[in-house]
Amino acid sequence: MSVLKPRRLALSVAALTAAAALLLGPAGPARAAEITVDTLDAAKSTDQNCALIEAIEAANTNTAVDACAAGSSAGRDRIVIDVAGEIDAPSNGFQIRSDMEIQGASGAGTTINGEYESGGQDVEASTGFRVNIDSPTVTRVTLSDMTVTNMADGIGVRLPEATNTKDPPFSSS
């Protein structure tokens, strides 16, 4: 039976560690979250679905909301609406307070609607999305593959009056 000397053992451990690093690759930077919207429901609830309002809250707060994955502070979260159809906007619009991309359903599309009935009451949303550009966490917002319609103020995306001077942080397609 052979006995490894301490120096030889240290070199063997170092060689194994280097080999493992080459095989596993670098850890790499943390990635932003992808959050999948799987319902057209407009309200927050605990129904084990991920509604758009919950997905935006998860991205804004970096915490899981109902069945929505937690957002990440590592980058711009991506919200993918996985069901085609119409989503009713909250009366004051969807509140965006961090970097995110919201991708409507591919193919059939997504409509954000501002006029609807809720609990026997007529609702008229003032805007589809309200982007808080004063927040230091809002530098880039992208909305794509969706239509925003029937807003009471006629505004699909509202940038509240800002006290900063940075450029508007959003794009749309």
Per-residue pLDDT of 36-74, as tens digits, reads: 999 999 888 889 999 999 999 999 999 999 999 999 999
Q: Give the pTM.
A: 0.76
Supply the DSSP string of 2-38, one letter for each residue: ----HHHHHHHHHHHHHHHHHHH---------EEEE-
- Which residues, in sequence order, are CB contacts of 25 under 8 Å at separation 6+? none
Per-residue pLDDT of 71-99, as tens digits, reads: 999 989 999 999 999 999 998 899 999 99
Pairing of β 115-118 and β 121-124: antiparallel
- Supply angle C-alpha 27, 33, 38, rounded to 5: 145
**The pair of three-digit structure tokens given for residue 116, joined into one six-digit string:** 């609807």
Angstrom distance (rounded) from CA 168 to CA 173: 15
Angstrom distance (rounded) from CA 70 to CA 60: 9
- What are the structural domain ranges in the chain? 34-172
Per-residue pLDDT of 92-133, as tens digits, reads: 899 999 999 999 998 878 999 998 887 788 888 888 898 888
